[in-house]
Amino acid sequence: MAPIRMTTSTIKVLEVLMDADSGDDMSVYGLDVVRKSSLGTGTVYPILSRLERIGWIRSHWDDSDTPGARRKFYALTGEGRAGIKEAFAARPGLVARRFAT
């Protein structure tokens, strides 16, 4: 499993992806990740790209015929879920510090 640097921003993005993973749809649109994480697009999209490159998430384009720009959706993979568990187990204070702020 490929390592990823667990910055505060990466944790925020992963939290949004984990929340989506526990819902009905299991995927989240890129701009929703930006809004829900309170991070800028210049931070979120490179993180999503890295997560996809290492296999932790997958993406797909919205197929609907709704007007406006096409949306790209992101979802955790099995490898991503395992990687998150492993990263958080290796550093239990990681999540605790995040929620303390």
What average pLDDT score do residues 62-85 get? 86
Confidence of residue 2 (pLDDT cuts 50, 70, 90): low
pLDDT higher for 6 or 36?
36
Output 89-96 pairs: Cβ under 8 A, ≥24 positions apart.
Answer: 91/6, 94/6, 94/11, 95/11
Alpha-carbon span 22 to 97, nearest angstrom? 23
- The helix/strand/coil state of 54 is coil
Residues ≥6 apart with Cβ < 8 Å to 67: none
Residue 65 has a pLDDT of: 73
Evaluate if pTM is beyond 0.85: no
Give the residues across from 59 on adjacent strands.
Answer: 74
Alpha-carbon span 88 to 90, nearest angstrom? 5
* Domain with residues 8-100, CATH architecture: Orthogonal Bundle (1.10)
The residue extents of the domains of the chain are 8-100
